Structure 1
Amino acid sequence: MDKLIQANGQPHYGLFAQAPGEINYRDFDFRSPMGRRLGALAKWRRFHQFQYFGLISEQLIGGCALANLSLAGIGFVYLFHPASGRMIERQFKLPLGFGTRFSQRPNDGVCELRSGRNRLRLENHGATLEKRLLVELDDGTHIDAGFSEAQPAFQPMCLNTPTAVNGWVYAQKVAGVRCTGQVRSTLGDFDLAALEAFAHHDWSAGYMRPETCWNWACLSGRAGAQRVGLNLSCGVNETSFTENCFWLDGELIKVDTVRFDFDRDQPLRPWRMASFDGQVELQFEARGLHQERMNLGVMASNFKQIFGQFRGVLRPRRRPEVVIDNLWGFVEDQYVKW
C-alpha cells in the first residue's frame, strides 16, 4: 500500500502485512461530528504523531520519544542503570514544534528535535528496514543505537483503526529485536551488542480523541532459546481491531483485548495484565519511573512510564507455552488532552 488515505479521502483500515508508504493525512476527508467538512487548519491542529525507541537489557534501560502535537513539539530521553538505581532524564517542549521535523513515512525518513546543543533524532531507512536512534545532549550523553527488521526477518504489527466519531489512528510496533550501538554517559560507557540488548519501536499517528487515555506494556528478551517481544494496549486502538500481540523469533502472534490491573495512585506497585483469550497472563514489578505532568488548559498530560520486570506465561495456540521469567520491559499510564 503506497498511501494510507485512499482517493476518496477515506483511510484503509485493518491489520496490514506491510507498512503504508506514507501517512498522507492531508488527503483525509476530515469532518466535524455533525458532518461538516473541515479544512487545512483543522487537519493540522488535530493531527498528532509520535515515535518511541526503547532500549532493554539487564545492565541498561533507556527510552526516547518525539511527539508532534501541532501546538508543541515534545521530546524526552532517559537512561536507567539497574545495578546502581541511578538515572539520567531530560525533557523538551518547543512551542508550535519550532526546532522539530517529522516524516510521515513510517519506514523511511527522519523525526528530529533540536534545542540548543541537544538533539534527539530517529531515523527510519526503508531500503534496509533499519531503525536508528541518535541522542546528543549538552551534558555529554551520547546514544547511537539501531536494529534491523530484515536480519533476521521480523514481522512488525501494522494497524489502522477508526477512532471516536471522526478520526483514525495508525500504529506500527516492533519488540523483541536485537539492538546494537553505543551509549556514553555519566552512568558509564556501554556496548549494546555486548550487553545483548533488545529494542522496542513505536511509530503512531492520526486523529486521536481530543481527550484520551491509555495503558501500554512492552517487553523484550529471551525465553529459553526464543527471542520474545510483547506489545499490549488498552485504549486508542480498540475499535474493530486491537494492537495486542507478541512475537516469537520475529513471528507475529495476535492477542485479543487485555485488562490492565494496577493502582493509579501508586504506579510502582505490581501490575497485572491478562488477555481475554487466555494467551497472556503476566505480572510486572516496577524498578523505576519516568513521569511528566503538564496542564496548559488547551493541552494537558499526566504521563507515567515505568520500567521493570515481567513474570508469567504466554500461551500461543497450537504451540508450547512460553514462560516469562523476569524479562525487562515497560508499562505506561497516560492521560492526554490535546
Structure 2
Amino acid sequence: MKLAPAPQHVVGPEGKPKLGRFSGAAESFGWHLLAGEHARSSLWRRFHHKKWHYVSLVSEQVMAAVAIVDLGWTSTCFCYAFDRNDSDMMANYSQDGLPGRLSVGVGEHAGAASWFRTRSTQISIEPLPGGRFQLTLRCPYMEIDAEFGPPIAPLLLATGPVKGGALHGTQKSPGMPLTGEVRTFRDEYKLDGGVASFDYSNGLLARETAWRWASGHSLEMGFNLQSGYFGGNENALWIDGEVVPLAPAHFIFDPHDPMQRWHIFTEDDQLELFFTPDGARRQDRNLLVAASRYIQPVGHFSGWVRSEPEGAKRIVSQLAGVTEDHYSRW
C-alpha cells in the first residue's frame, strides 16, 4: 500500500483536520484552527495540548536518547547514555522545567527547532540545510554534540482521533546517518557511522494516556510500532527507501518483569520480532496533579519483516532499539 503525500497543513482552511497516514512531513498542525466537532476552547487546549521531540542515537558502542516534553502547563526533559558493550547505564538524567512554557519550546512541526533550558540543563534540536539536524545537550551527567540526516526514506505522518482527548499527530523518521560524540564521566564515545531517528508528536490528548511502543532502525530498514491511545495509526516499516503502513501491533511481555524477552507482531503478518532487553531507563512519579509510570528497555530485535503480506521475509538480526511501557496522568 502506497501512502498519499503528506498535507502541508494538518488542519485545512475550513477547520477540518486531514486524518490518516501519509508519506512525508507536514509544516503545521494548527489545532487552534479546528472547527465543528473537533473544536476545543483555548483553556481546554492549554491543559490537553502535549508535544514532545525524542531523538535516538545509536552507534556500535553506545545508545543514547534525548527527549523534550511540553505538557502545556509545565515541561520536562530526559536523557540517557547506555554502553552496549558492558550493558551499563552510564548516565540517566531528567529535569522538570518552570511553569508554563518558560523552559521549553517544542517546534510546531518536525522540521522546526526545539529547546529546553534551565540553570543546569540546555538542550537544542536545530534544523540544518539539506534535511539535516543538530542536537546539542549539556547537563550535569553528560554532554552530546551530534549531527544527523538527511532521512534515507520519507517520514511517516500519522493523524487521528484519540479517546478522551481530541486529535493527535505524529511524525516518525527512518534511520539517518549520524556523526558526533557523547561524553560521560567515564569516557568520550564517537557516534560517527551510527544511526539516528526521531519521534515528533503533537496532540490534544486525554488526561490519562497509556501506550506500548517499539522502535528500531538501521540505514537499510526500520520500524515504529505502538499499541495504546493511538491504536495502530503510527505503525510503519521503512524498507527499500519507502515507508510502508502496518496493521495493529500486539506486545506480549511480562509487565511485572519487562527485562524478559518481548514478542511483538502485527495483524497483517508483515512483522514478527523478539526483543531482548540489555538494560532500561525507569521512572515512577506520583505528584498531586500528575503521575507517570515508565520503563524503556534498550536492547536488540531479531525476527523478520516484509513489505507486503505475501512478500519475501527479510531477516532482522541484532537490530538495536527500544521498547516502552508508559502510563501518564497529565
Same fold (TM over 0.5): yes
CA distance in structure 1 between the aligned counterparts of 2:137 and 2:62, rounded to whole angstroms: 16
| SS of equivalent to 2:21 | strand
User: CA contact under 8 A between 1:78 and 1:90: conserved in structure 2?
Assistant: yes
Structure 2 match to 1:71: 73
C-alpha change, 1:80 and 1:289, in structure 2 (3 Å) is same
Cα distance in structure 2, aligned partners of 1:221 and 1:43: 37
Q: Does 1:202 align with 2:199?
A: yes
Runs of 4+ displaced beyond 3 Å: 29-32
In structure 2, give the amino acid aligned to 1:62: A
Higher mean displacement: 169-178 or 70-79: 169-178
Partners in 2 of 1:293 and 1:266 — Cα distance?
15
Deviations 1:8-48 (A, max 9, x none): 3231111223322112122223869xxxx642222211100
Decide which of 92, 114, 126 is 1:123's aligned counterpart.
126
Superposed, 1:119-158 pairs within 5 Å as 119-125=122-128, 128-139=130-141, 141-149=142-150, 153-158=152-157
Q: Does 1:112 align with 2:112?
A: no
SS at match of 2:45: helix
TM-score (norm 1): 0.89
**Cα distance change on mapping 1:124 and 1:210 into 2, 3 Å:** farther
Distance 2:280 2:105 in 1: 28
Cα distance change of structure 1 residues 296 and 270 upon mapping to structure 2, 3 Å threshold: same
C-alpha separation between the residues in 2 aligned to 1:253 and 1:85? 32
> What secondary structure sits across from 2:175 in the alignment?
strand
Q: Which amino acid aligns with 1:102?
A: V
Work out whether residues 24 and 157 of structure 2, in 8 Å CA contact, stay in contact via their aligned partners in 1. Answer: yes
In structure 2, stretches of 5+ residues that fail to align are 1-6
Q: Which residue identity is paired with 1:264? A: P
CA distance in 2, matches of 1:174, 1:38: 29
Deviation at 1:217, TM superposition (A): 0.4
Distance 1:72 1:62 in 2: 24
Q: Give the conservation status (yes or no) of the 8 Å contact 2:46–2:73.
A: no
Which residue is 2:93 aligned to?
90
CA distance in 1, matches of 2:124, 2:45: 25
d(CA) in 2 for partners of 1:201, 1:207: 20
Counterpart residue identity of residue 310, structure 1: F
1:73 to 1:166, Cα distance in 2 relative to 1, 3 A: closer
Aligned to 1:9: 15
Structure 2 counterparts to residues 251-270 of structure 1, below 5 A: 251-270=242-261
Other-structure match for 2:266: 275
The residue that corresponds to 1:234 in the other structure is 227
Equivalent pair of 2:251/2:265 in contact (CA under 8 Å): yes
Check whether the contact 1:175–1:219 (CA below 8 A) recurs between aligned residues.
no
Paired position in structure 2 for 1:175: 174
Percent identity of equivalent pairs: 25
The alpha carbon displacement at 1:229 in A equals 0.9
Q: Aligned residue for 1:330?
A: 322
Deviation string, structure 1 residues 107-144 (Cα, Å, up to 9, x no partner): 1x22111121321212234x5222222111234x3212
TM-score, reference length from structure 2: 0.91
The equivalent residue for 1:161 is 160
Which deviations, in whole Å up to 9, do the C-alpha atoms of 1:217-256 show, x marking residues without a partner? Answer: 011226xxxx111111111322xx6211111243212211
1:247 equivalent in structure 2: 238
